[in-house]
């Protein structure tokens, strides 16, 4: 692990996730009745739960409004939830005020240009292999796994490993 990248990850106290293209593969399923459906990965969800158990706060900032995302956030006990957000920098600034954290203590995982403002401010910017080229240029960490299929889990594990909490968090599962 690169020492500069590890140092960034060691400072993280809050991880903020975009949804479409990060927590999901970016596909939108819309029924004839207008109902929107999303597919979430259970390993990603467990990764978020384990990260929270390690002492890291979780947040979601998404541009779309979706009941399925609200339900997922509630199931994962996400600490801060913003949806229908057109200005993610404004939501990021609000989170900084609410938490009292420094920007270098926050990680943002996004995939498209609307995610650039908070990613540019974050201490750790994370994206996925299919992230927009401009996002990949500024990302500190690009997951190997793709969005909706383990990328979130990979990012969570990475942070826990950098902070030295990974082994103690997963140890109970070996008993």
Name the binding residues. Answer: 18, 20, 49, 64, 72, 88, 111
Token pair in block for residue 78: 């996400």
Strand order in the sheet with 124-127: 80-82, 57-61, 14-17, 106-109, 124-127, 141-142
Closest CA to 131 of 153, 149, 150, 116: 116
Question: What is the C-alpha separation between 13 and 94, in angstroms, rounded?
Answer: 16
Dist CA 104 CA 91 (whole Å): 16
| Known binding-site positions for Mg(2+) | 18, 111
Cα gap 125→103, rounded to integer Å: 11
Residue numbers in the known binding site for substrate are 20, 49, 64, 72, 88
Nearest Cα neighbor of 40 from 71, 16, 62, 63 is: 71
């Amino acid at each position: 692990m690169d020492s500069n990248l590890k140092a960034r990850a060691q400072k993280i106290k809050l991880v903020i996730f975009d949804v479409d293209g990060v927590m999901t593969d970016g596909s939108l399923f819309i029924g004839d009745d207008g109902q929107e459906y999303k597919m979430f990965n259970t390993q990603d969800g467990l990764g978020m739960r384990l990260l929270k158990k390690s002492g890291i706060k979780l947040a979601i900032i998404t541009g779309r409004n979706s009941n399925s995302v609200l339900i997922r956030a509630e199931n994962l006990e996400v600490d801060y939830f913003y949806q229908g957000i057109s200005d993610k920098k404004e939501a990021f600034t609000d989170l900084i005020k609410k938490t009292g954290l420094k920007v270098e203590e926050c990680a943002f995982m996004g995939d498209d240009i609307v995610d650039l403002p908070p990613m540019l401010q974050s201490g750790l910017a994370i994206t996925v292999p299919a992230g927009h080229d401009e996002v990949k240029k500024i990302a500190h960490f690009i997951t190997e796994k793709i969005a909706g299929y383990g990328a979130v889990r990979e990012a969570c594990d990475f942070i826990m490993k950098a902070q030295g909490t990974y082994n103690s968090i997963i140890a109970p599962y070996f008993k």
